[in-house]
Each structure stands twice: as structure tokens, then as C-alpha cells.
């Protein structure tokens, strides 16, 4: 456990463990089939794999039927081979999940999406890049007064946030419930991170209090997005800003034995010249993704995988998926929710692809 200082501080995404339970089929990838199943990786990624109790605390658990793949008879009298068939998806009604208030939340929870990020307690960030506007940071903060004014601990009558960074053109506000608001000349981002606060005890050492609520990645993601949309709406009101890029980030802290099969295969490939497992590594790879025919955007992803020598052997996996528009568009709160929703679906599909490792067979 790292040493934490201050009244409130960021906590590793793996401070708590989310319970997982398979509900639906699982896909295997040749030699990595057993490893894939042990990590709950699914194909396609919209099969529910996270425990319903985590997704909907207190809700009555609905019946969920496991579906097996329809194997084809090889015609030679032998038993059908299920491994060669992809499983069907197991759908479940979104009505059992908590709904976000407001029109943004409603538009972003039209379907249930579950990712391997849920099982590994990943934390999300969503951001937009706008055209540059170098103005005093007060120009960004003043429109957010209606939001910031609500960040108060009522029992203590004290601010429920900290200012983690501040300079003439940018700042970062961190609320006690785990949301970081990153504001800059061209960047508006909302990120979720767990937070701890130490409380003094009479005649004893201080105790740590978890201020955030552990939830699956795909449940926190719509919350983060709704908060970002509100920030963009307030900051860009009355200004002719243009949208340049949309970003979706997944950050995961996991032991080397529990990394997804695709990441494990990549690390094994990198270490092949030495024929041994490295004690520490810091690998960053930025690459463009295939551009769909007729699309008006270009996707890319920054892959950052690190393992320091002194961190209990934990691996940090950060996937920073980005969508660049071929031509900057004027910010419209009518179309922006749909653009971000489409980007999130594409990002989750790519995260699943990388984690499963099928592209290494090409």
C-alpha cells in the first residue's frame, strides 16, 4: 500500500475489488482460451460479465439465462466442437441499472455495455479538445460557479473539493467523491479516481476513510460523460468554440499474473530477446487505427504499460483512445452527446480487442 499524504488523496483503482460473475457465453482464443476465460473476457463485448449486485445495489436480481454457442455438426459422427463458434450475447434490460438525472444521462444509457475494465476495476476519463483559447483561467472557472458552489460538505460546512493544479491558463479541481475536472486552453476533461481521507482518532493512529464508491467502469463512464457535457455546455456558452478531438481513457492497476491475455502476449513479445520476464518496464506505443471507409474522423490510441521496480509488482495499463475529426466542428450541445456516445462504443470495442489479443494472430 503506497504512503498517502494530505487530508484527501488519490487512491489506486485497485484499493477495492469488484465481484465478478459470468452471465452469458465466453469466447476463447486458441492457446489463450483458458487464460481468456479466467479473466472474464467476452466476445462480443456487450455480454454481461459483471455481477448484477455490483451494477444495481439493492435491486432484486433478475433471472439471467446462460446461452451456449450453437455448434455445427461436422458431419463425421463426432461431437460438435463448441470452441469454434462464438457465443451469443446475453442481453439484459437497462432498466435494472441506476439512471443518471437529466437528458444527457438518459441519452448515454440506451444500452448496457460491459467491459473487461469492469472486472479489473479500471477507472475512466472522458475529454474533448477544442480550438485553442488562451485566456485567464477565471474565464473557465467563472461559468462553473453553479457547479462548484454545490461541492460542500454539509455536516462540516466546508468545501468538498481541492485545487490540485493552478496556473494562469489552466487548473484541476478534484472533488471528494472522486471526480477531477481538468480545464485548459484547449482541454476539458473529467476523470474518476478513488480518494482517501485520514481522520484523527482519540488516543490512536489516524484511520483512512474511502470517500468514493467502488463501481464498475461501464457504470462510472456515463456519470463522467454527463459531468463533462455539463462543463462543456457552461464553458462554451456564448462562445464560438470548435471541437477537434474526443478522448476516452481506461486506467487499470493489476498484478502481472492478472493482466488481460492480449497485454500479456504483448509483454511476452517485447521481452523475447532476453528470454526472461523483465523486473520493470515502461512501454508507450501510439498508433493510428484503421480508418473506416467514408468516415470523417481518424482514430488512434496511446498504449502505456508500466511496472516500476518498487510498487508491489503491480502493472499500470493506460489506454488513451482518441478520435480526431477530419475537420473541426462548431460545438453543439445537440450533437455532442451522440458524438461522444459513438466514440465510447468504438473505444470499448478496441479495449476488448486489445485485451483479448486476437489481433496478434494476424
78, part of any domain: no
Residue 222, judged by CB atoms within 10 A of its CB (0-12, 13-18, 19+), counts as: buried
Contact yes or no for 293/273 (Cβ under 8 A): no
- Within the chain, what is the greatest distance between any pair of CA atoms? 77
The closest alpha carbon to 355, from 115, 121, 160, 175, belongs to 115
144, part of any domain: yes
Could you give the CA distance from residue 220 to residue 122 in angstroms, rounded to a whole number? Answer: 10
Could you give the CA distance from residue 239 to residue 331 in angstroms, rounded to a whole number? Answer: 9
80, part of any domain: no
List 282's β-bridge partners, or say none. Answer: 306
208, part of any domain: yes
Contact yes or no for 300/349 (Cβ under 8 A): no
What pTM does this model have? Answer: 0.69
Could you give the CA distance from residue 240 to residue 165 in angstroms, rounded to a whole number? Answer: 27
3, part of any domain: no
Domain, as residue range, for 328: 8-57+85-361
Could you give the CA distance from residue 303 to residue 62 in angstroms, rounded to a whole number? Answer: 37
Could you give the CA distance from residue 210 to residue 223 in angstroms, rounded to a whole number? Answer: 19
Mind listing the pLDDT tens digit of every residue in the chain (362 residues)?
Answer: 443 333 444 444 444 333 333 333 333 333 343 333 333 333 333 333 333 333 334 444 343 333 334 444 445 544 444 333 433 333 333 333 334 444 444 444 445 555 789 999 999 999 999 999 999 999 999 999 999 999 998 888 899 999 999 999 999 999 999 999 999 999 999 999 998 888 898 988 999 988 889 999 999 999 999 999 999 999 999 899 999 999 999 999 999 899 999 999 999 988 999 988 888 999 999 999 999 999 999 999 999 999 998 767 799 999 999 999 999 999 999 999 999 999 999 999 999 999 998 876 65
If one counts every other C-beta atom within 10 angstroms of the C-beta of residue 241, the result is 20
Could you give the CA distance from residue 109 to residue 105 in angstroms, rounded to a whole number? Answer: 6
68, part of any domain: no
65, part of any domain: no
52, part of any domain: yes
Total domains in the chain come to 1
Amino acid at each position: 500500500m503506497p504512503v498517502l499524504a494530505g487530508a484527501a488523496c488519490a487512491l489506486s483503482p485497485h484499493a477495492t475489488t469488484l465481484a465478478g460473475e459470468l452471465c452469458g457465453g465466453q469466447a476463447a482464443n486458441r492457446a489463450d482460451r483458458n487464460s481468456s476465460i479466467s479473466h472474464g473476457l467476452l466476445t462480443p463485448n456487450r455480454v454481461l460479465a459483471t455481477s448484477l449486485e455490483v451494477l444495481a445495489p439493492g435491486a432484486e436480481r433478475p433471472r439471467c439465462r446462460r446461452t451456449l454457442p450453437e455448434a455445427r455438426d461436422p458431419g463425421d459422427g463426432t461431437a460438435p466442437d463448441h470452441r469454434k463458434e462464438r457465443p451469443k450475447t446475453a442481453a439484459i434490460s437497462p432498466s435494472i441499472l441506476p439512471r443518471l438525472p437529466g437528458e444527457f444521462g438518459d441519452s448515454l444509457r440506451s444500452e448496457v455495455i460491459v467491459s473487461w475494465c469492469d472486472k479489473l476495476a479500471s477507472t475512466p476519463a472522458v475529454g474533448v479538445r477544442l480550438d485553442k483559447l488562451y485566456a485567464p483561467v477565471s474565464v473557465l472557472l467563472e461559468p462553473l460557479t453553479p457547479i462548484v458552489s454545490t461541492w460542500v460538505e454539509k455536516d462540516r460546512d466546508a468545501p468538498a473539493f481541492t485545487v490540485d493544479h493552478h496556473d494562469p491558463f489552466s487548473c484541476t479541481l478534484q472533488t471528494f467523491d472522486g471526480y477531477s475536472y481538468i480545464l485548459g486552453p484547449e482541454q476539458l476533461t473529467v476523470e474518476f479516481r478513488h480518494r482517501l481521507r485520514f481522520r484523527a482518532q482519540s488516543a490512536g493512529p489516524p484511520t483512512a476513510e474511502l470517500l468514493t464508491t467502488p463501481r464498475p467502469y461501464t457504470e462510472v463512464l456515463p456519470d463522467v460523460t454527463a459531468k463533462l457535457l455539463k462543463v462543456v455546455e457552461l464553458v462554451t456558452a456564448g462562445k464560438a468554440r470548435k471541437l477537434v478531438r474526443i478522448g476516452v481513457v481506461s486506467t487499470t492497476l493489476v498484478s502481472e499474473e492478472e493482466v488481460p491475455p492480449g497485454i500479456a502476449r504483448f509483454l511476452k513479445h517485447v521481452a523475447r530477446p532476453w528470454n526472461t520476464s523483465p523486473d520493470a518496464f515502461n512501454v508507450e506505443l501510439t498508433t493510428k487505427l484503421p480508418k473506416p471507409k467514408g468516415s470523417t474522423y481518424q482514430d488512434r490510441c496511446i498504449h502505456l504499460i508500466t511496472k516500476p521496480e518498487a510498487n508491489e509488482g503491480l502493472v499500470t495499463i493506460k489506454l488513451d483512445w482518441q478520435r480526431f475529426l477530419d475537420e473541426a466542428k462548431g460545438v453543439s450541445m445537440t450533437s455532442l452527446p451522440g458524438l461522444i456516445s459513438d466514440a465510447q462504443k468504438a473505444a470499448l470495442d478496441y479495449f476488448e480487442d486489445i485485451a483479448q489479443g486476437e489481433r496478434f494472430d494476424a
